[in-house]
Amino acid sequence: MKELEKTYNPADIEDRLYQKWLDGKYFHAKVNKDKKPFTIVMPPPNITGQLHMGHALDNTMQDILIRYKRMQGYEALWQPGTDHAAIATEVKVIDKLKQEGIDKHDLGRDGFLEKCWDWKKEYGTRIVNQLHKMGSSADWDRERFTMDEGCSDAVLEVFVKLYEKGYIYKGSRIINWCPVCQTSISDAEVEHVEQEGKFWHINYPVVGEPGRFVEIATTRPETMLGDTAVAVNPEDERYKDIVGKMLELPLTGRQIPVVADAYVDQEFGTGCVKITPAHDPNDFEVGKRHNLEEIVILNDDATVNVPGPYFGMDRYEARKAIVKDLEDQGLLVKVVPHSHNVGTHDRCKTTVEPMVKQQWFVKMEEMAKPAIEALKTGELKFVPESFGKTYLHWLENIRDWCISRQLWWGHRIPAYYCQDCGEIVVAKEAPCKCPKCGGTSFVQDEDTLDTWFSSALWPFSTLGWPEKTEDLEYFYPTDVLVTGYDIILFWVIRMVFSGLEQTGKCPFHTVLIHGLVRDSQGRKMSKSLGNGIDPLEVIDKYGADALRMTLLTGNAPGNDMRFYWERVENSRNFANKVWNASRFIMMNIEKAPDVAGVTLDSLTMADRWILSKVNTLAKDVTENLDRYELGIALQKVYDFIWEEFCDWYIEMVKPRLYNEDDATKAAAVWTLKTVLINALKLLHPFMPFITEEIFCNLQEEEETIMVSQWPLYRDDWNFKEEENATETIKEAVRAIRGVRSDMNVPPSKRAKVYVVSEDEALLGIFEHSRSFFASLGYANEVVLQKDKEGIAPDAVSAVIPRAAIYMPFADLVDIGKEIERLRGEEKRLEGELARSYGMLNNEKFVSRAPQAKIDAEKEKLEKYSQMMEQVKARLAQLLG
C-alpha cells in the first residue's frame, strides 16, 4: 500500500491519471457480444469553440453516465467528435484573412477551403484537449469530424436517397436570409428578440373612387415596394364591396387588387393587410392561393433593387425615405409605437429578412410523422417529460427545411447541372453523361448543406453507416442523448427523424435535458456582460473534481443553475475531507492486525451499522442514476461520506484503533477499508480523479477504479436492527452536545454521563457502545441505570425516546470560577442598566433625540434586564 501525499493537490494527480487512462485504453469500447452495449454520442462541439460552462456541465453529465455504466459491466461507448460549424468557421476564417489583407474571393473556392482546413488543424483539437482536463472518458480513439471521409459519405448517401424519394427538391420559397452572413438559415436558427418598433398606418387609394382609401398598418414600410395585393377577411362586412377592386400602391405607380382571404384577422389593426409574397412567409402562402406575383425588392446585402428613387439604399435608409415621401403626399395616417418580436440570426444577431429564393429543401410532412409517433408510443422519452411538448409542437407545425447555404465551407450539394440542356443530376459522384441529352459538361451546385444536415446523422454516421459495420450493429441505436433545452429544435428533432428514416430505428431512447449555467445573479453568461467563467480557470484553482461536483450539486434535469465560487470552495473542502479521511484509514491499515479472519459475525454494532448504510446507499444511488437524478445521487454520496462515515463512524472506531488490546480492532479496520472502497466507487463517476488516486493506493488487486465493479446491494449487509440501535446512540450524543453547547462547555471538559431507562434492551445498546459513546459524548464515565438514584439534584438533563441523560453540573462547570464570572457579569450589567435608565429618565434626551434612538435604547434596557434576571437566577442556583 502506497501512502497518499499529506496534502491533496489536484494539479499533482489529474494530468498524470488522465494520461494513465489514455495509455491503458480504458475509454476504448469494442464489439463484445458477451456484454450489453451502452452508447452515448457527444454533441460535437464546434471547431471554433472554446470550453465554456455549458460544455462543462453537458460533458460532466455524460461522463457520469458512461463511467457508471462502464463500472456496471456494460461495453460503454462514449462517441466523441467535432463539428465543422459551417457559418461560424467561415466567418472566423474570413475575419482572419481580412487581418492579413486577403479577400475570400481572391483565393477562390479551393484556396479558401485550404485555409479552412488549416484552421481546423490549428483549432479543431483545442476544445477536445480542454475536455481532457475535465476528465471526459470518451473513446478518443474513435474521434470523428463531421467532414471526415466517412461522415461525408453518409451525407451524400442521405441526400441522394432523399432526392430520389422525392423528399429533397429545389424550388423558390420563402427562406430566412441573413444580409451580413449572406446565406439562408433555417427556422431553428432564427432567434426572436423583442424590439421597440412602430406601426406605420398608410392610406392606399381606391382606383376610380377619389377620396376613398384602404388603411393598412405595417412594421416594415419599405416592403410596400413588393406589395402585390391587399387582403381582407371574406366575412368582414366593412370591405365586402371593395373585394376585387384595384388600389393605387403609393410611390410605385403600380395598381394592386383587393383579395379576400381567411388568413386576415378582422379584429387586428384595420382589418386590411398588405400582401408582400416575396418577403413574408404568411403572405407567401396567401400569394400562392391567389396567384399573386412575387417581387423580391432586396439584394443579398439588404439594399433595395427596385428601380427608382430608393434603388441602392440600405433597407433602413429606404424605410426613412419612404416614410418621409408618404408623409409629404399626405398618405401617412399615423405612427403608433409597437413592441414586437423580430427574427434575428442566432449567430451574428442581424435582423433576418424573409425572402423568396431558389434553394434546396427537405419535405418535412412525411418525415415528421414517425418522429411524432416515436414520442407518443414511448419509443422516445424526454427527461423531464415536459420538454416532449416543445418537441411535439415544433414537429406538428414544421415547415419544409431549407438545407442549402451560400457558403464554401461545408458539404457541397451533390447536384450537377448539365451545361447543354440544364438537366439536374443528383449523385454521390460527378456524372459522366447527361441522362437527358447525353452531354458531358457539368457544373456542380455552388451551395453547401446546412451544418445540421450532417450532424443530424451523427448517431449512426459515426458508427460506419451507410456501411453495415459491426459497430453499427452492436452500438446502434444509442441509449441516451444529453443536451441543453436550447438545442431540441436544431439537433434533437433532426436526429430523430433522420435516424428513423435512414435506419428504421430511433437513434436513442432517452433525451436527458439540462438547463443553462448562469452567473450568481441568475444572468446568462455572455461576452457582452463580461460574466463568463472559464472552466479551465476553475480547474487550475480547485481541480476538475471540484468543478464537476459544483456543476452537479443541486442539479435537476431541465433546470438552470447558478454558479457560485463558494460552492466550488465547498466542493474542494469535500475533496480534502475524503483525502484526509483516506490517509487516516490507510495509516491505520498499515498498523492493523491481520483482517483475513474477519467475518460479518465478528463485526460490532457500529461496524454493521455503517456497512448497512453504505449498502443502502449503493441501492439508492443506483436507482437515482437509472432515473437520471444525477444531482440527488451525488448529494446522497456526499452526505454519507461527510456525515455518516467521516463525522460519525471514524470517530466511533478511534478508541478501538488506538487500543492495541481491543479484540475488535481488525473488524474496525476491515470495515473502514470495505466501506471506503464502496464509497469511492459510488463517488467515482462524479469525482473521477481523487477516487482513482485513493483507490489505487488503497488496494493492489485492481489497477484502476474505472473498471472495478459497481457496488451491488447485498441482503447479508442489511442490518436494520444495528442501524436503529446506532441511530439511538447518535441521538443521545447530539442531545449531550446540544446541552454542552448551550452551556458553552468546551469539548476538553469531560463529564460523568448517566443514561436512565427502564428499557433493558435500550440500556443494552449503550452497553455494547460504551467505548465510542463515551468518546463522542465527551464522557469520563458512563453509568447505565434504571432510575435516578445517586444522581445529584443539580444535574443537567436531556431527553431522548425511552431514556433520559443526566450530567452532574459540577462536572460541566468549575463552580468557583463560574460564580466569579457571573458576579463580574452582574457588575457589568448593573452599569449598563444604570446608564440606560439614566438616559431614558432624562427629559432632554427624550424630548430631543430621534425616536429611532429612543426606541433602540428601550430595546437595550429590555435586553439587559433579561440578562440580569438570568445571571441572578444562575447565581442563586450555584450559591444554594
Annotated binding site for ATP: 527
HSE-up of 628 (CA within 13 Å, CB side)? 20
Q: Which residue has the cell 454494532?
A: 605
- Cβ neighbour number for residue 822 with a 10 Å cutoff: 17
Q: Say how far apart CA 753 and CA 733 lie, in whole Å.
A: 11
C-alpha 150/C-alpha 562 separation (Å) is 40
8 Å CB contact between 444 and 474:
no
For residues 341 and 378, the answer to whether their CB atoms sit within 8 Å is no
Distance CA 567, CA 561 (A): 12
Cβ count within 10 A of residue 437 = 12
Binding residues are 527
Peptide bond into 477 cis (omega under 30): yes
Give me the DSSP letters along 517-562: EE-TTSPBP-TTTT----HHHHHHHH-HHHHHHHHHTT--TT--EE
| DSSP for 603-622, written as a single string | --HHHHHHHHHHHHHHHHHH
CA distance 727 to 606: 10
Q: How far does CA 664 lie from the centroid of its chain?
A: 48
* Cell output for 715: 441482503
Backbone angles phi, psi at 567, to 5 degrees: -65, -35
End-to-end CA distance of the chain: 61
β-strand partners of 351 = 344
> What gap in Å lies between CA 432 and CA 513, rounded to an integer?
48
Q: Which of 87, 95, 80 is nearest to 127 (CA)?
A: 80
Q: What is the residue-wise DSSP string for 177-195?
A: EETTTTEEE-GGGEEEEEE
Which residues have C-beta within 8 Å of that of residue 695, sequence separation ≥ 6? 677, 680, 681, 684, 702, 704, 705, 708
